[in-house]
Amino acid sequence: MGLFDGKKGLILGVANDHSIAWAIAQEIMSQGGVCGFTHLPDRPDDARKRNHRRVSLLTDKCESAKFLVPLDVTNDENIAAVMSRAAEEFGKIDFLLHSIAYASLDDLKRDTIETSRDGFKLAMEISAYSLLAVANAARGILSDRSAILTMTYYGGERPVPGYNVMGICKAALDSCMKYLAYDLGPSGVRVNALSAGPVRTLAGRAAGVDDMLALYERMAPLGRNITHEEVGRTGAFLLSDMSDGVTGDILHVDAGFNIMGSPGRLLDEAPPQ
């Protein structure tokens, strides 16, 4: 018997097979859950429909993947259409994974103080407000004791050079998550965030993940980096009934990096003075 037997839900934000959202979805489906998926909308001039193709190569192989549709979180009508499709397929849903974030490369490469006004607004809308938008649109189809999970990062709690404007977005996302947990609590809906350490993903490359991997391996108490599978299992836990007393929380999966108040064992590598 699996943790998700009889459970169904939405997975928002799979980009390819390296996506954390895909790792979580795989764990859910391996535990008996069924999922509806969304992908980034394809550009009108993209005849190959690359975004759809990348995700469909994954979902087409899974009997537990019931549909795949585009989602533009800046468009309320599109969000409503996704929820309508989920209602048609599932009736009610038991879990919703929000793994969506965006900032332009131009703004990510700038010092935070130089972030453009338009870039800031777009990054905040997609990376933070979208959680409120999809949760509000899903209210009518969320089952009793359902769960919502979003993906955050330590750069929203402390400045991480290179993460820049996205760190501000994650701080806003963390706050949105907590207020949602309060608003939806009386309905029995739990809302949490998973803060993963660096792993190689499409978004991670834009944030300079390779440099962070080396740092985490030498600073984290476990002395190593995390894996997609570890994040997948923890994400599934937070969306399952096993975490039914947890809401409004940020759970770190980062080999303990977030607890450190000094460079730790990295100091052993410093040359003697």
Question: Annotated active-site positions, please?
Answer: 153, 163
Strand partners, 9: 35, 95
Sheet holding 65-70, edge to edge: 65-70, 34-39, 8-12, 93-98, 142-152, 190-196, 250-253
13 φψ region: left (φ > 0), alpha (ψ -120 to 50), beta (else): left
Distances (CA, A) of 203 to 88, 136, 137, 153, 260: 31, 26, 26, 12, 25
User: Residue 28 in 3-state DSSP?
Assistant: helix
What Rg do the C-alpha atoms of the chain give, in angstroms? 19
What is the tally of helices (H) and strands (E) in the chain?
A: 10, 7
Residue 138: which residues within 8 A CB-CB, separation 6 or more?
A: 10, 83, 86, 93, 96, 148
- Helix axis angle, 165-184 to 130-138, nearest 10°: 20
Burial 81-106 (b: 16+ CB within 10 A, else e): bbbebbeeebeebbbbbbbbbbbbee
